[in-house]
């Protein structure tokens, strides 16, 4: 029997965050214009080549992937209307939707999918990694694509999200120089919205795709993505009615409570389940006091993470227990706990023989919230007797220092992509220690047992075996503290309540305008 959708159940534990009122009883209304904030202005919109957050947010509504993901990260049909998995879990067959056309009218076929795989392998670092287990991709006919894997790969059905694997038009890109292709500036996709114009520094305008394959959708006529560089001005733009949608992270946290109280305003933390951003402190395991496990554990005990959540993040998010966010598959909280305990931190430091050596702290230059957090953590660590010096940098400078391993403690947050094999292991396995790059194992943690567990976990079957492996890995990591996990972040999306059904999937606003409608 083919194991269908069931196998794709990517989530062990559902997120309790409320989804925007599904408004099932109400009949969607057609028409209207939505103004949304996009922050910062994206460097480009060609999703296959640029994967910045704002690019994904705009272009996720222009391009499409083979699959979409529910808030529980179960795969849903998108360009692929159904799929089957062979008994040995090595062959995945996708049936493509019929009658789909590109925005320029050309039909979409399996050849586009094959071409996209080739292109993404060269232009999209994460897609390249995700496709590493793929032996070959074939298209027996125009509406069928068959992926054959080298070995079973548990999270395979989790890699087809639009930002991870956008399908691009072969007829416009084949044989051209991708970097200079004119369609990079006016992207052509299959999605519910078509690119119309981009006034640099002002707005990006998308219009409804009238030939969209799901009849009646999209309901909205136009989307204006407003570009407003100053955080305070973005809040004001919402208050004055210039914009109706503030996607997560586009206003400062301390403005959220004030904006939430405004009339006809709806707030939700949903729509980030696929990314599950987890923040932590990189601890340089190679040198200095932090090379000692006891000092790293002391860091965990010394930092008041509930304070960070309640005060700095205004109560949003959740204190992290370990390397996996609680929304990630195989998450377990049955690990060593590190409550706020300065006395214990002091004792551990004493035991480790720490004598006031200077420790450099790199905050994250992402705005006020992160700056305040850096100050609070510094104070926490100083309170237990650590000698902390804050190094001020900009984003690029900070990335360079971290990539060159020229730091002791550094703030970061990373996406987890639903499965430990996709978004967790990369930060802890020793084969991912590569100087000069930022988001790999920059802490320099090296443990053969962890290497083996993550290697086994990616390809183990069945699910229960994977669960066992990853739970063991989490226990070991939390004991060793290669990095100091802080919070599972939550980026609330603020909208006028008349904007309905915007957030229905695990990537929220990124592909949400397909189902959104305006209650006028």
Partner 1 sequence: MKQFWKSMLRSPSGVIGLIILVLAISIAVFGPMLFPNSPWRMVQRPFLPPFTLSTVPLGTDALGRDVFAGMIFGARVSLLVGLVSTLVALVVGVPIGAMAGYFGGKTDDALMRFTEFFQTIPSFALAIVLVAILQPSIYSIVASIAVVSWPPVARLVRGEVLSLRTREYVQAAIVTGQSNTWIILREILPNALSPVIVLASLMVATAILLESSLAFLGLGDPNLISWGYMVGAGRTVIRQAWWITVFPGVAILISVLGLNLIGEGLNDALNPRLSREGR
* Residues contributing to the site for partner 1 (CB under 8 A): 231-232, 252, 254, 258, 307, 311-312, 363, 368, 371-372, 374-376, 378-379, 382-383, 389-394, 397
- For the chain, helix (H) and strand (E) counts, in that order, are 14, 21
Instruction: Kindly tell me which of 83 and 282 has the beta carbon lying closer to partner 1.
Output: 282
Closest separation between CB of residue 140 and partner 1, Å? 58
Cβ 66 vs Cβ 113: under 8 Å: yes
Classified as helix, coil or strand, 114 is helix
Closest separation between CB of residue 278 and partner 1, Å? 22
Nearest CA among 28, 50, 44 for reference residue 120: 50
In the numeric block, which tokens belong to residue 134? 């793929």
Exposure on the CB side of residue 16, measured as CA atoms within 13 A = 4
Instruction: Kindly tell me which of 307 and 405 has the beta carbon lying closer to partner 1.
Output: 307
* Residues facing 136 on adjacent strands: 148
Closest separation between CB of residue 383 and partner 1, Å? 8
Exposure on the CB side of residue 293, measured as CA atoms within 13 A = 9
Quick one: which H or E segment has residue 141? strand 134-141
Closest separation between CB of residue 58 and partner 1, Å? 26
Q: What are phi and psi of 49, to 5 degrees?
A: -115, -25
Instruction: Kindly tell me which of 371 and 430 has the beta carbon lying closer to partner 1.
Output: 371
For 132, other C-beta atoms within 10 Å of its C-beta total 12
In the numeric block, which tokens belong to residue 126? 């994460």
Closest separation between CB of residue 237 and partner 1, Å? 15
Closest separation between CB of residue 454 and partner 1, Å? 36
Closest separation between CB of residue 360 and partner 1, Å? 11
Instruction: Kindly tell me which of 164 and 314 has the beta carbon lying closer to partner 1.
Output: 314
Instruction: Kindly tell me which of 30 and 382 has the beta carbon lying closer to partner 1.
Output: 382
Phi-psi region of 351 (alpha: psi -120 to 50; beta: other; left: phi over 0): alpha
Contacts 24+ apart (CB under 8 A), 205-213: 206/58, 206/61, 206/62, 206/513, 209/103, 211/101, 211/105, 213/97, 213/99, 213/100, 213/101
Instruction: Kindly tell me which of 2 and 40 has the beta carbon lying closer to partner 1.
Output: 40
Instruction: Kindly tell me which of 89 and 228 has the beta carbon lying closer to partner 1.
Output: 228
Q: What are phi and psi of 409, to 5 degrees?
A: -130, 135
Closest separation between CB of residue 386 and partner 1, Å? 13
Closest separation between CB of residue 405 and partner 1, Å? 18
Instruction: Kindly tell me which of 123 and 369 has the beta carbon lying closer to partner 1.
Output: 369
Closest separation between CB of residue 390 and partner 1, Å? 4
For 20, other C-beta atoms within 10 Å of its C-beta total 22
Closest separation between CB of residue 260 and partner 1, Å? 14
Instruction: Kindly tell me which of 383 and 468 has the beta carbon lying closer to partner 1.
Output: 383
Instruction: Kindly tell me which of 195 and 238 has the beta carbon lying closer to partner 1.
Output: 238
* DSSP assigned state of 106: P
Instruction: Kindly tell me which of 314 and 321 has the beta carbon lying closer to partner 1.
Output: 314
Nearest CA among 158, 165, 163 for reference residue 5: 158
Q: At a CB cut-off of 8 Å and minimum separation 6, what does 378 contact? A: 361, 388, 390
Output the CA torsion 42→46→49→54 (10° steps).
30
Closest separation between CB of residue 359 and partner 1, Å? 12
Classified as helix, coil or strand, 196 is strand
Q: Residue 276 and residue 423: Cα distance in Å, rounded?
A: 10
Q: Residue 104 and residue 82: Cα distance in Å, rounded?
A: 25
Instruction: Kindly tell me which of 194 and 359 has the beta carbon lying closer to partner 1.
Output: 359
């Amino acid at each position: 029997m083919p194991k269908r959708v069931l196998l794709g159940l990517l989530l062990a534990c559902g997120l309790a965050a409320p989804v925007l009122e599904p408004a099932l009883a109400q009949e969607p209304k057609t028409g209207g214009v939505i103004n949304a904030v996009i922050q910062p202005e994206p460097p480009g919109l060609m999703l296959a080549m640029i994967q910045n957050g704002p690019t994904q947010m705009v272009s996720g509504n222009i391009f499409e992937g083979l699959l979409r993901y529910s808030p529980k990260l179960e795969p849903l049909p998108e360009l692929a209307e159904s799929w089957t998995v062979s008994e040995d879990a090595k062959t995945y067959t996708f049936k493509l939707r019929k009658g789909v056309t590109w925005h320029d009218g050309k039909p979409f076929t399996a050849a586009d999918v094959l071409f996209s795989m080739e292109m993404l392998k060269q232009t999209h670092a994460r897609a390249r990694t995700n496709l590493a287990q793929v032996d070959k991709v074939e298209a027996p006919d125009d509406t069928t694509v068959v992926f054959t894997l080298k070995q079973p790969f548990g999270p395979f059905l989790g890699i087809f999200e639009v930002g991870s694997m956008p399908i691009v038009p072969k007829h416009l890109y084949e044989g051209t120089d991708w970097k200079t292709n004119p369609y990079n500036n006016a992207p052509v996709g299959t999605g519910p919205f078509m690119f119309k114009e981009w006034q640099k520094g002002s707005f990006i305008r998308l219009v409804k795709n009238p030939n969209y394959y799901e009849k009646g959708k999209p309901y909205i006529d136009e989307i204006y993505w407003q570009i407003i560089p100053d955080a305070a001005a973005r809040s004001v733009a919402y208050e004055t009615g210039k914009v109706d949608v503030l996607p997560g992270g586009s206003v400062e946290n301390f403005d959220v409570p004030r904006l939430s109280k405004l009339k006809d305003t709806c707030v939700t933390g949903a729509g980030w389940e696929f990314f599950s951003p987890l923040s932590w402190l990189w601890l340089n395991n190679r040198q200095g006091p932090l090379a000692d496990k006891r000092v790293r554990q002391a860091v965990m005990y010394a930092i008041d993470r509930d304070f960070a959540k309640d005060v700095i993040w205004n109560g949003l998010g959740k204190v992290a227990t370990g390397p996996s966010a609680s929304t990630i598959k195989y998450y377990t909280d049955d690990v060593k706990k590190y409550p706020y305990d300065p006395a214990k931190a002091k004792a551990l430091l004493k035991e480790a023989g720490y004598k006031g050596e200077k420790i450099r702290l790199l905050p994250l230059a992402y705005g006020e919230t992160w700056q305040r957090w850096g100050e609070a953590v510094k104070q926490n660590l100083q309170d237990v007797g650590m000698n902390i010096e804050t190094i001020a940098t900009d984003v690029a400078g900070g990335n360079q220092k971290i990539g060159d391993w020229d730091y002791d403690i550094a703030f970061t947050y990373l996406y987890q992509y639903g499965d430990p094999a996709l978004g967790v292991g990369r930060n802890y396995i020793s084969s991912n220690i590569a100087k000069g790059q930022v988001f790999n194992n920059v802490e320099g943690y090296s443990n053969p047992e962890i290497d083996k567990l993550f290697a086994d976990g990616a390809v183990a079957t069945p699910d229960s075996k994977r669960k066992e492996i990853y739970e063991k890995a989490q226990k070991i990591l939390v004991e060793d503290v290669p990095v100091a996990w802080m919070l599972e972040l939550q980026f609330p999306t603020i909208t006028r309540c008349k904007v309905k059904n915007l957030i229905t999937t695990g990537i929220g606003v990124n592909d949400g305008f397909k189902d959104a409608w305006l209650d006028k």
